[in-house]
Structures are given as C-alpha cells and as structure tokens.
Structure 1
Amino acid sequence: MKSKLKSLKKRVSVIVKDSNRKPFLQIIREAILFWIAKNEFPNFYFGKFLYRKENKNYKDYLSSREVDKITLSKNLHHFQYASILRNKLSFAIYMEKHKLPVPLMVGYNFKNRFFKKSEECILQNTSDLFTYFNSMFEATGKVSVFVKDITEMGGIGSFLITKQNLKEEIEKYGSYILENDCIHQEVVNQHELINKIYAQSVNTIRFDTYIDKNNKIHILSAFMRFGRGGSFVDNGSVGGFYLSVDLEKGVLKGKSHQLMKHGGGQLKEHPDTGVVFDNYEIPYFKESCELVKKAVSYVPDRIIGWDIAIGSNGPVIIEGNDNNSFITPDIAYGGYLKHPLFKEIMEEAK
C-alpha cells in the first residue's frame, strides 16, 4: 500500500509540475472520456502522458485491457515460440545454431554449478566466483563479460563484470549470481556513432514485428533506448529513456521519453554527452530491419518485440520478447490504434 501511495504521489507531482500539460479542466474531461471509451480507470491516460498538449488523439492509445487482449492471445502467441524467447539460455543457443548474430555465449550457471564450453565446476562462495571470472579474463584476453539472469526482464539481474573492477563487482553482485541461473555473454562492441551518444551501456533499438493473417512479416514501429548517468543498461524501467525512430529514414525523432516513475522528462539532447537527438542517423538501420524480419522466420510468434544493438560491424540481436507491455511503443508511435495494421491485430487477438 505504501509503495502504491508513493507511486501515486510521484505521478501527481509530475503532472502538476509539467509545463507542457493541458489545462486542468481539459485533462479532467479527457480522462473521463478515456475512462468511458476504454471502460477502465484512466491510469494509462496519465501514465502515457496523454495530458500533454501535443497528444490530441488520446483515444488512439491502448488501454490495459487492449494490451492484455494482445499479450494473452493464443492466436498471436504460442508456447513453443515463447519458451525460446523467455529463456535467455535457450534463445542464445538457438540463435547461435542458426548463425544469427547474437553476443557470443562464454558460459552459464545454474546457481553455483558453472558451465564453460566442455568444463563444469561447482563454486562454493564469492571467493571462488572471483577466481572463476579472473581465470576467464586471463585465458581469453577479454576485459568484461555481461551476466544476465536467464528468465528476468527489464534489466533485473543484469550485471557488467569487468576485469578492472572485479573485486568490487563480485562483492556487489556475486551472491545474486550464485543463487540464480545466469547466462554469461561477451559485451557487444558498440558502433562509434552510438557510443558518441552514450557509451556506458549497450543502447538498443526495440522493433515490434507482426505476422499478418496472410503470413507476411511487418515491422510495426521502432524506438531506441539509451542509458544515462553511468548506468550500464538502457532499460527505461531502471531510469533510461527512449526516442521514436523514423522507419523510413532510420533516424531518431524529436525529444526523448521517460517513464513517469523516473520523472517523465523530455530531452532534446543526451544529458551526459550533449548530443542532439533529432535526425541523428542510426548506422546499419536498414540491415537491422532485415535482421529482425529474418529472426521472425526462425521464431514465428506473431507479435514480438526485438532488441537490437548496433555493433561496429552490424546489428546484433540481444533478445526477443513475446510478452511486450506495449506501454513504451504505444507512446513512441503516438497511439498504436492509429496504425493501419492495428485494426487487424485487435481482430486477430482472440
């Protein structure tokens, strides 16, 4: 209850302080109309910033009920594909088998049982874990590895382990790694033009794909996420932000968006580097579009959110998500219900 009240207080504070909000009477009127049209309390009216002046088509945004209809649809999603997407270990093995570009897996662990190539060992404590990663760095010449919980989402259970700060990072993350199931992957060598915006995290493009009723693959939308303030993850749920991407031009569009719980700020440039976002060209964007369509042919769930990093030599698949919340892409697109394919999607979401 306390956390809910704190969240509500945060939302009210963001709305009241937002200089870009509509007049209060208009906000109240629209919230009521959204409530009537969607037949649910208008949480999403506020959470998706539909009270801001530029959002005139507020009824084109998905309600939580409409999102649930899509994400829970057995016609759009199938267990056999979801089971590949939701397990990062299975996903990495499957993608590598089909020679699709993903970060190279260097090992994994099921709690304190660790696997690396043909080797297997049991680690008793964080001291053993320090020795394990230190030996890996010495043997491979690598200076960092990305460790991710096999089943968690939203940046939870994701850790950058580096040779330089190994002792501190094992002290901080070691217990979690030993008590959970994790995959260990090489860190993507990010393209210099993406590093120019923010180099501390692997910044990913989220592509939403859809297989229509005639079995044709479409890219519904794209947005790009960035970390900030030294964070090594770009996820909005941990304080990062995102921008819409022009699918035709392959450039960033307008201002950034941030989740309300982190302040809901809108920025024209990255706060750490000062790089202006609007019209910033994304390298290998055409190749990224081609890659996600190819990936869909190997995992043909009808709606997937793909996270693609831009490496120095081309796009790299980070993960695919069948359980997309649609909050972020709905905001980035400017109201998914105005998308020409969404009428069919809602009809197919049985």
Structure 2
Amino acid sequence: MNFKKIFTADWKSLHAVIKHMHKVSGRSRVDLFRDMYACYKKGYTWMGYMVNGFYKYTDENVRRTFLSEYVDNVKIVKETISPEAREILRDKGKFSEVYKDFLKREVIDLRLSSYDEFSSFIDRHERIIVKKPFGEGGKGMEIYLTSSIDNPKDLYDKLKKNDTTIVEETIVQNEKMSEISTNSVNTIRIATAIDLSGNVTVPYMTLRYSVGDSFLDNASLGGVYSLLDDEGVTVGPAYMSVPYEKIFYSHPKTNYDFMEFKVPQIEEVKSIVKEAALVVKSARYIGWDVAISDKGPVIIEGNQTPSVDLYQTHVHLKEPKGPVKIMEKALDIKLR
C-alpha cells in the first residue's frame, strides 16, 4: 500500500465527493472521511469508496466482495500478465503492430515513420486522431481535419516534439451507437479472462459514452458509463463519477433514453476480443476498448490495468455484492 498517494491526493475533488456523500447518506463529513481512510488503508481509492457505494454499504462482509484498486487489482495484474505482455499493452505503437488484424483501420507510429510516410497517410484520410504512445485516460488526444492542415511538415515536427506519435485513421461509428451520444465514439470496455486451463471468458462489459461536447467517452474526463448484461443491454442508468457522483436516465441535451439501450453486434464484440485474447497468451487478463464502426466491431486498445470501478458501481448492482468471486473464478486466482 503506497501511503505517499495521500499527499498527492486532489483534496478539492475529495471535498466535493465527501460533500455529496454527506448529502445523500446523512452521515457526517468527519465520519465519512474516517471511513474512507480506513478503506484506503485496505487498498480502496477515494473515488472507489463512492463508486462502490461504501457510504451506504457499511457491512464489512459486503465490502469484502468488492475489488480494491491498490491491492486486488495490483495482484490480478501481477499474477496474470507477464512483464513482456504489459509492455505491449502499455505502448500503443507496439499494441497496434501486435494486434493490427483487429484494428480495421490504418495506424502509423511516428517514432518509426518518416515525414513522407506521414504525408502520404494524411493524403489518404479525411480525419486523423493523434495520441501519445503511453497516454492514459484520453489525455493528449486530438483530432485533425486533414484538409485544414496547412503545413504537414510543421505538424509532423510538432507531434514528434510533443511525443504525440501515434496517428490513426478515425473511426466512422455505427449509426445505432451514435444514437446514444453523437459527439463521441462510444466504446465498450470488455474484459477477457483466461483461466489456468486456457478457457477464455468475458467477466464483464461496460458501455462508455459522453453526455457533453467532448469527443472522448473516458470516465476520468467526465464521461458516463453503464454496465451491460450478457446480451449487451444497459443495466441501470448512466453513471458519472467526476467530479462527483451524478446519475442520468436520459441524455441531458437530446433526452435520448439510456435505459435498456442494446449495443448492436454484441456477439461479434465478444468474438473479436476472445480471438484477440489468444494472441499474447501470457496476458491472461485484458480490458479491451471496442468501438462499433461501419465495418463492425474494432478494437481501440487493450488495457493492462483496467480500473475496477467500471464494473462494480453500486447503481448498476441488483444486490450489494461486488465481483470478487466472479474474477476469482474467471482467472483461477485467490483474492480472499
């Protein structure tokens, strides 16, 4: 447990979270803070405390069914993903090469590509998206309309200087997926787990989308998410965790109903990640981000340390019970 994180905490955001939980639970701020700190020492994050609903679930037997970020998730990654596999998943350039058959779009890495290759790339595509090779949570991403690029050489030099070296053809989203949120490419976070016998399963799926003007759906940037059932249907309302808990039953701008939205081609989504999971078998657990394009499901990236928050949010649970047992069974791992 890294207690140094206490001193780097975002105290302004933490105050907003405690204020919200005090309002909805009736518990005092002091009581909530003390309880959050006790849970933090067991590996639960400040945000995870709220997302898990620990402000209302106070029974220790209930809480133990929820996964902690700093202890359980760290153990899962350490025991199920080799260092070599983690490096492939961490580096978007290496990932794009190893899993290129599942991307269904063109990607170049400016660490390896010349200016002439970059220039030819932007000539072939109307829009491009640029990313940092080790970026997380959507930070540093930008979209360019190639017809508006006045000086491609200047852009090439700028991207290399800023270490924004992953350049991708943008995805044309499936029409049904655009209904739920028109601004972002809405993605499914879907996990694959390989047990010690080699069986591949999907322990959870979550739909992520935007309710604002951003083209990104990341929860860490104010996006929302809903748990999906095995048929790809949303379970409960959309949930926002940043800057604090908010719940949406419909889109605040379009009034589109979020309840029981069905993701199209969900069996194809499961199929593509199960096949991809076997490419690097030393990565027994991967959290995939998948979009539904006009060409069908496409893999955006694979996450080596997928957050536990997305699949154990209290508003999506039928009963106060977390997924510890589910993950133990899927990965043949002991967590409790």
- For Structure 1 versus Structure 2, the TM-score category normalised by the shorter chain is 0.7 to 0.9
Q: Does 1:43 align with 2:26?
A: no
Unaligned runs of 5+ in 1: 122-131
Q: What is the CA distance between 1:342 and its match in structure 2? A: 2.2
2:4 aligned residue: none
Aligned pair partner of 1:13 in 14, 19, 32: 19
Q: Does 1:250 align with 2:210?
A: no
In structure 2, give the amino acid aligned to 1:68: V
1:108 aligned residue: 109
CA distance in 1, matches of 2:9, 2:39: 28
Distance 1:176 1:223, change over 3 A: same
Q: What is the CA distance between 1:289 and its match in structure 2? A: 0.5
Comparing 182-191 with 37-46, greater Cα deviation is found at 37-46
Q: Is the 8 A contact 1:207 1:305 kept in 2?
A: yes
Q: What is the CA distance between 1:153 and its match in structure 2? A: 1.0
The 5 Å alignment of 1:140-151 reads 140=124, 142-151=125-134
Q: Is the 8 A contact 2:328 2:334 kept in 1?
A: no
Q: Does 1:267 align with 2:248?
A: yes
CA distance in 2, matches of 1:36, 1:178: 42
Q: Does 1:85 align with 2:110?
A: no
Q: Does 1:4 align with 2:10?
A: yes
Distance 1:202 1:344, change over 3 A: closer
Describe the SS at the equivalent of 1:47.
helix
Q: Is the 8 A contact 1:108 1:114 kept in 2?
A: yes
In structure 2, give the amino acid aligned to 1:104: E
Q: What is the CA distance between 1:316 and its match in structure 2? A: 0.3
CA distance in 2, matches of 1:45, 1:281: 27
Q: Is the 8 A contact 1:337 1:343 kept in 2?
A: no
Q: What is the CA distance between 1:172 and its match in structure 2? A: 11
Q: What is the CA distance between 1:231 and its match in structure 2? A: 0.5
> RMSD in angstroms over aligned alpha carbons?
3.6
Q: What is the CA distance between 1:182 and its match in structure 2? A: 1.5
1:126 aligned residue: none
CA distance in 2, matches of 1:154, 1:33: 24
2:270 aligned residue: 289
CA distance in 2, matches of 1:109, 1:250: 36
Q: Is the 8 A contact 2:233 2:261 kept in 1?
A: yes
CA distance in 2, matches of 1:202, 1:317: 12
In structure 2, give the amino acid aligned to 1:329: Y
**Count, aligned residues:** 322
Q: Is the 8 A contact 2:194 2:331 kept in 1?
A: no
Q: Is the 8 A contact 2:228 2:234 kept in 1?
A: yes
Q: Is the 8 A contact 2:52 2:312 kept in 1?
A: no
Q: Is the 8 A contact 2:43 2:72 kept in 1?
A: no
CA distance in 2, matches of 1:16, 1:172: 49
Distance 1:303 1:201, change over 3 A: same
Q: What is the CA distance between 1:265 and its match in structure 2? A: 0.6
Distance 1:2 1:305, change over 3 A: closer
Distance 1:297 1:164, change over 3 A: same
Q: Deviations over 1:9-33 (max 9, x none)?
A: 122222234xxx33427x9599759
CA distance in 2, matches of 1:221, 1:319: 17
Q: Is the 8 A contact 1:34 1:45 kept in 2?
A: no
Q: What is the CA distance between 1:263 and its match in structure 2? A: 2.6
Aligned pair partner of 2:66 in 61, 66, 75: 61
Q: Is the 8 A contact 1:92 1:102 kept in 2?
A: no
Distance 1:84 1:33, change over 3 A: closer
Q: Is the 8 A contact 2:49 2:55 kept in 1?
A: no
Q: Does 1:302 align with 2:284?
A: yes
Aligned pair partner of 1:279 in 260, 273, 284: 260
The 5 Å alignment of 1:67-78 reads 67-71=73-77, 73=78, 75-78=79-82
Q: Is the 8 A contact 1:190 1:202 kept in 2?
A: yes
Aligned pair partner of 2:204 in 213, 216, 221: 221
Aligned pair partner of 2:142 in 145, 159, 167: 159
Q: Is the 8 A contact 1:336 1:342 kept in 2?
A: no
In structure 2, give the amino acid aligned to 1:151: F
Q: Deviations over 1:315-335 (max 9, x none)?
A: 000000112232222327745
Unaligned runs of 5+ in 2: 1-6
TM-score (norm 1): 0.78
2:195 aligned residue: 212
Describe the SS at the equivalent of 2:255.
coil
Q: Does 1:95 align with 2:99?
A: yes
The 5 Å alignment of 1:110-125 reads 110=111, 115=114, 119=116
Q: What is the CA distance between 1:197 and its match in structure 2? A: 1.3
CA distance in 1, matches of 2:163, 2:40: 44
Distance 1:317 1:343, change over 3 A: closer
Q: Is the 8 A contact 1:34 1:42 kept in 2?
A: no
CA distance in 2, matches of 1:70, 1:310: 28
1:192 aligned residue: 175
